[in-house]
Amino acid sequence: MTNSNQFFFSLFILSLLLLLSFSSLSSADVPPSSPVSTGTICSYTPYPSFCRTQLPKNNSANVYDCGRLSVRKSLSSATKFLALINKYLSHSSSLTPAAVAALKDCELLASLNLDYLSSSLQTVSNTSSSPLNVLKADDTQTLLSGILTNTQTCLDGLKATASAWSSRNGIYAPLANDTKLFSVSLALFTKGWVPKNKNGTLKHGTKKHLPVVNGTLPLKMSSHHKAVYESMRGRKLLQSSSSDGAVLVSAMVVVSPDGSQNFTTISDAVAAAPNNTNGSTGYFLIYVKAGVYEEYVSIPKNKKYLMMIGDGINQTIITGNHSFVDGWTTFNSATFAVVGLGFVAVDMTFRNTAGAIKHQAVAVRNGADLSTFYSCSFDAYQDTLYAHSLRQFYRECDIYGTVDFIFGNAAAVFQDCNMYPRLPLQGQFNAITAQGRTDPNQNTGTSIQNATIRATDDLAAANFTVQTFLGRPWKLYSRTVYLQSYMDGLIDPAGWHPWDGDFALNTSYYAEFDNRGPGSNTSNRVTWPGYHIITATDAANFTVSNFLAGDDWLPQTGVSYTDGLV
């Protein structure tokens, strides 16, 4: 090639690169309502090649039309998967107990996915081609995030307890395809319907609460229910003249182990609650008197807006001992499990007594959107609190555990809570969190604000020879932040521990802001690309107001909270 030809060829290549660069930049700035190629639309998703197989090949599509189509296809695919699960369960006599247990978890999770996708499809079908308001967008982004979490949980359970059976029966392929399709739906919803200015502004927090009298929530109920509650609990409620804005209670039952009240078991009281209430008439209140309740309690999806109040931490205790070692899936090892919308628990202890030797043994599994735990204790070892999915708030709670003792993929804020790492098995280390975000568009993560982290007596007696870390990345996009918290000297100077080699060290998001105490020194922290020491502006994105849209739903619970930074 002559020098002249080389010059013109180089100029051509440079022009082509500039054109491609300009096209790439400009396509990112194209409004979602503008017609573009489906290839451009699919470039917004984590799976562009798969996305192109799901969308019609044309050059006049827009994000909104493609997003609606993707959600419709997701609903169809989820329906087929549930039918597949039910087909296998109809022949359960030929399956191992482990396979049946995993499939039953998948059945529950798949049925929830149908609900979430039906709601999401209604939203995208009935809205114009423009971003939604922040609250409505957060509702649907939460559901689409939860669908991915449910699918991953099903997959994890099958791999852990029935891997050989699942491989033989070809169940992994539909799960993998569903995961990609759900991810495409979430990405297109995020691109089209979620406003770009979703994150809130920096503000110092204001503590918001209704007046608490004698340590109880300000409940507004009928004179009959009020008299029963006061006589049972020995605490006076607010007088009706001063109870404007108090928590509305529609009905109440009392649980007592001695048989003197409405029910002797919590499960029977839950079964008596009305189905599918919308919360506008108030909470169905279950008052659980002091005692030890040896039962496994489940709050299903049709039991919405239940409020459960006990007589205090270590007074009202729900306890069980299911564990992974004894044949339960981690998901279904929980002593207490809840998926019912708007659940509130106050003044209770939830316990799993399986012990460290039994490995995964969950005290509480929470997959309830807009759920709140106030002044509660969670007591176990490995995998104590499974903050599974959707939006959750914990205030003034005590959480005890060893390995990954707060884990899951909810959007969860823990405020003014006490974290108590305890002595694990020999050779183990403690990890307070193991967050499970699997997709960059999920609005999930664990935010721990103004917490106190101290060793239990048995761990302290070991003179900190057991390492304790703030967390480790369970899934690829794991996200956890510690804000304005006290960390005692038990925290390892590195702060964070890898999961497996360099897995997720680039893609996870771990951050610390304005923490205090001997364990908060960040000078020797890990140097992963995913680890950050953040500013107040960044930290504000993980507060109750911004991360949970908490100002929209927490006031009705009566639980105190701080909306921004402390």
Digit-coded pLDDT (tens) for 437-484? 999 999 999 999 999 999 999 999 987 789 999 999 999 999 999 999
Whether residues 547 and 462 share a domain: the answer is yes
The residue among 228 and 4 whose pLDDT is bigger is: 228
Q: Catalytic amino acids?
A: 404
Query: Residues 349, 430: one domain?
Result: no
pLDDT at 419: 98
Angle, vertex CA 120, rays to CA 443 and CA 72, nearest 5: 120
Q: Which of 124-138, 227-241, 353-367, 414-428 has the lowest mean pLDDT?
A: 227-241
- pLDDT > 90? residue 216: no
Spatial CA neighbour of 165 closest among 110, 111, 92, 81: 92
Q: Do residues 37 and 174 lie in contact, with contact meaning Cβ atoms separated by under 8 Å?
A: no
Residue 296 lies in a domain: yes
- Report the DSSP beta bridge partners of residue 378: 350, 399
* Same structural domain, 262 and 394: yes
- The boundaries of the domain holding residue 364 are 249-401
Q: Which of the listed residues 128, 159, 193 is the one where a domain comes to its end?
A: 193
pLDDT (tens digit, 9 = 90+) per residue, 59-82? 888 999 999 999 999 999 999 999
pLDDT at 231: 80
Q: What is the mean pLDDT of residues 129-149?
A: 94
Q: Which positions ≥6 away from 486 have C-beta within 8 Å?
A: 451, 452, 453, 515, 516, 517, 520
Residue 29 belongs to a domain: no
What value does the mean pLDDT of the chain take? 90
Question: Last residue of a domain, which of 193, 211, 230?
Answer: 193
Across 310-440, the runs of DSSP E, i.e. the strands, are: 316-320, 336-338, 344-346, 349-352, 364-366, 371-374, 377-379, 385-387, 391-395, 398-401, 403-408, 411-415, 418-421, 430-435
Structure-model confidence comparison of residues 532 and 217, the more confident one = 532
| Predicted local distance difference test score (pLDDT) of residue 165 | 80
Q: Give me the mean pLDDT over the 248-257 stretch.
A: 94
Domain assignment present for residue 170? The answer is yes
Rounded CA-CA distance 39/188 in Å is 13
- As a whole number, mean pLDDT of residues 495-521 equals 97
- Whether residue 351 is found in the same domain as residue 304: yes
Q: Based on the domain organization, do 371 and 432 belong to the same domain?
A: no
pLDDT at 201: 61
- Please tell me whether residue 532 adopts helix, strand or coil conformation: strand
Task: Tell whether 470 is covered by a domain.
Answer: yes
Whether residue 203 lies inside any domain: the answer is no
pLDDT given at position 204: 66
Confidence at residue 200, expressed as pLDDT on a 0 to 100 scale: 60
Whether 282 and 391 share a structural domain: yes
Provide the 3-class DSSP secondary structure of residue 365. Answer: strand
Binning pLDDT at 50, 70 and 90, where does residue 198 land?
Answer: low
Pick from 377, 401, 425: which residue ends a domain? 401
Q: How many Å apart are CA 217 and CA 536, to the nearest integer?
A: 32
Same domain, 449 and 392: no
CA distance 277 to 267: 18
What does the pLDDT read at residue 417? Answer: 98
Tell me what pLDDT residue 199 has.
61
The answer on 462 and 357 residing in a single domain is no
Domain match, 438 and 327 both: no
Of the pLDDT bands very low, low, confident and very high (cuts 50, 70, 90), residue 16 is very low
| Within-domain flag for 17 | no
Q: Is the pLDDT of residue 261 over 60?
A: yes
Q: Any idea what the CATH number is for the domain that residue 509 is in?
A: 2.160.20.10
pLDDT the model gives residue 4:
45
Query: From CA 299, how far away is CA 310, in angstroms rounded?
Result: 16
Query: Within a domain: residue 549?
Result: yes
**90: CATH:** 1.20.140.40
**199 domain residue, yes or no:** no
Note whether 385 and 414 are same-domain residues.
no
Query: Is residue 3's pLDDT more than 60?
Result: no
Tokens (6 digits) for 525: 């922290």
pLDDT at 139 > cutoff 60? yes
How does pLDDT run across 530-553, given as a tens digit for each residue?
999 999 999 999 999 999 999 999
State pLDDT tens for residues 263-289: 999 999 999 999 999 988 999 999 999
Asked if residue 524 and residue 426 are part of one domain, the reply reads yes
Task: Give the pLDDT score at 18.
Answer: 39
Q: What's the confidence (pLDDT) of residue 162?
A: 80
Q: What is the pLDDT of residue 465?
A: 84
CA distance 310 to 336: 14
Average pLDDT over residues 46-58: 94
pLDDT in tens, 392-433: 999 999 999 999 999 999 999 999 999 999 999 999 999 999
The confidence band for 211, taking pLDDT boundaries of 50, 70 and 90, is low
- The yes-or-no verdict on residue 1 having pLDDT over 50 is no
Lowest-pLDDT range of 20-34, 83-97, 292-306, 464-478: 20-34
Element (H, E) at 209: none
Q: How confident is the model at residue 335 (pLDDT cuts 50, 70, 90)?
A: very high
Q: Residue 22 pLDDT > 80, yes or no?
A: no
Same domain as 394, residue 255:
yes
Q: pTM score, two decimals?
A: 0.92
DSSP output for 417-459: -EEEE---STT--EEEEEE---STT---EEEEES-EE---HHH
The pLDDT value recorded for residue 8 is 42
Domain count within the chain: 3
Residue 208 above 90 pLDDT? no
